Amino acid sequence: MVHEGLIYIGSSDLRRISAIEPASGKVRWRSDVYGWTFGTPLIIGNRLHVGAAGGTPYFIRHQASYCTLDLATGRLLTRRPLPDGGGHQWGIAGSIVRAGDTLVYATVEGSLFGVAVGEW
């Protein structure tokens, strides 16, 4: 996702979200969200909303969760862990979207969730 001159992108194996200046490649910040971040981050105001997937077995532990980060600093503000679905992978593998005042995401297991924008 490109927003106000920065690229916000996930990194599956490294469990990170990064803010990068595209012209120079300089990393403004990089934050660990503890899981695979396959989807496109969502920006609302000064927060970045990110879904993460967990999986096992794998050489590094990945934990599924719904996270918000401070857009300017990358500081992890909230993290809502999602339960292990019992398969090889679980959690959020797609993008979080906004529908009016609701944030919507689906899990690998096939569940659909809606969270009020104000809760995050």
47-83 burial code (b ≥16 CB/10 A, e <16): bbbbbbbbbeeeeeebbbbbbbbebeebebeebeebe
Provide the pLDDT for residue 17.
96
Sign of the dihedral through C-alpha 116, 117, 118, 120: positive
Q: In the predicted model, is pLDDT for residue 12 greater than 80? A: no
CATH number of the domain bearing residue 53: 2.40.128.630
In this prediction, residues 35-58 reach a mean pLDDT of 93
Provide the pLDDT for residue 96.
96
CA distances (Å), 78 to each of 2, 52, 74, 91, in order? 22, 13, 12, 16
Provide the pLDDT for residue 41.
95
Q: Which amino acid is at 36?
A: W
Strand 76-81 and strand 102-106: pairing? unpaired
Separation between Cα atoms, residue 50 and residue 39, nearest integer Å = 8
Total domains in the chain come to 1
In this prediction, residues 1-24 reach a mean pLDDT of 93
User: Which structural domain range is residue 97 located in?
Assistant: 2-119
120 pLDDT band (50/70/90 cuts)?
low
